[in-house]
Structure 1
Amino acid sequence: MQWWNDLISWLTSSESQSTVFAAVVLFFAVLAAGLLAAWISSSAVKRVVAQRDREAKAAAIAALVDAATEASVWNSLTPQEQVLADRAVGQADILVRLLPIRGSDIAANWAAHQLHELKRASATFGYQLDPAVVEFRDRLLEWQRRPGRTKRQFQNDLERWRTQRNETPEQPTIDEQETWVAQQHHDRYREAVTITDTAEASTAPTQTVEVDGTGTATVEPAAEAKR
């Protein structure tokens, strides 16, 4: 206990007041510097995360808008282009569902329904639906800015479409018609490819073989042989 008494006596003495004051000031300075550094680091990390989130949102929405543009002219795409477009739509759908935005699953379901409608309209009418693509883009941008309110609108749209589908007695006929239109598109493209290959084969230059008196064979194109 003697050392404790000596320490208390030294702390309460007038000679140690300047030393104690300097130690207290140094302690609070180090503590304030640590807190400030932690706050700056946390703010920097939050800014980086927010920037990456904005980039991910912009990339996902841009992919969906591009998919909507291709869906609006779906009937004019080749089967290979349609496969690539469907793959891009699938990747964009995953990106949207993984976004840190409230209601991203509902937005992905809404976008999938709208893309299907654009494909169906393109196959039925055969022209680009510019107003529908613009509305699709604006709704997604509105969802990015105000996810809470737009989420309710998307949910209402999905419920309305589900009700309309259940109340439509000719829905199986519509589905069969869409399947028939898609099959006709593939058959028409297959016939066009076959005709093109046949035309190229018929116009390919032929070669003739001539044997001179010395027994040497020479190969010449058909046009030169005629001359």
Structure 2
Amino acid sequence: MNLISIELSKFKVSKIFGTLLLFNMLLFLFLFLLGISTGGVKMFPTMDTAINQINNAIVWPACIMFNAAWSAKILIQELRTNTISNIWSCGIDRNRLMMTKILLILVIGISVVAVSTLLLNFLLIVFRSYMDYSAEGTALEKQFTMPFVINITWNAFCIGITGMLAMFFGSRHFSAITTIIAALGIAAIWASQISFLNLDVSDIRLLLMFGSILSLLFLERKLKRLDF
């Protein structure tokens, strides 16, 4: 808990919240402009279908990119500048520090997906009449049904873990740019919602999660042997 407090004091909760708010404002502006770009032609038969497609193709991939940016700041940047070595030199256990950073990145990742999904879906429903996503609306109450909450929670958990894969690629050369590029590839896979061979969309996403968990094990071993 002391290490978590130190990390939060370094990056400031207000700054994290501010960037999350700006991220959602810009993303809603993009969705609004996209919604009025068809010249009155409705894109989906129902608003429920529209929201599902928007979440999978735009909101959640964007959250992957947001998570990658913060993971690069919390971990990759400190590795690149050797800032983290100063902390290790104070006698703090490497494993505890790494677990703290990974936990912080994971919590941010899950929270971003959950908050962004609920907020943007709410705004899409409220301002539906000004956009051309669907002629048929949907009730706000549907955003708080148990199946919908379970769906958001599961996807938030998946995306939070999957984002660690981009962090692993970035840690290989201590490169924030590599982290962002890897996250872009993962976001494209997530947004495409394609099947491959006998694997459906859910199987591919589970493989990404499994790959992320393995990458964390390799990252932990690498940093344990790392000399600065």
Q: Same fold (TM over 0.5)?
A: no
**TM-score of Structure 1 vs Structure 2, range by shorter chain:** 0.3 to 0.5
Which structure would you say has the larger Rg? 1
TM-score, length-normalised on structure 2? 0.37
Larger fraction in strand: 1
Q: Under a length normalisation based on structure 1, what TM-score does the superposition of the two structures give?
A: 0.37
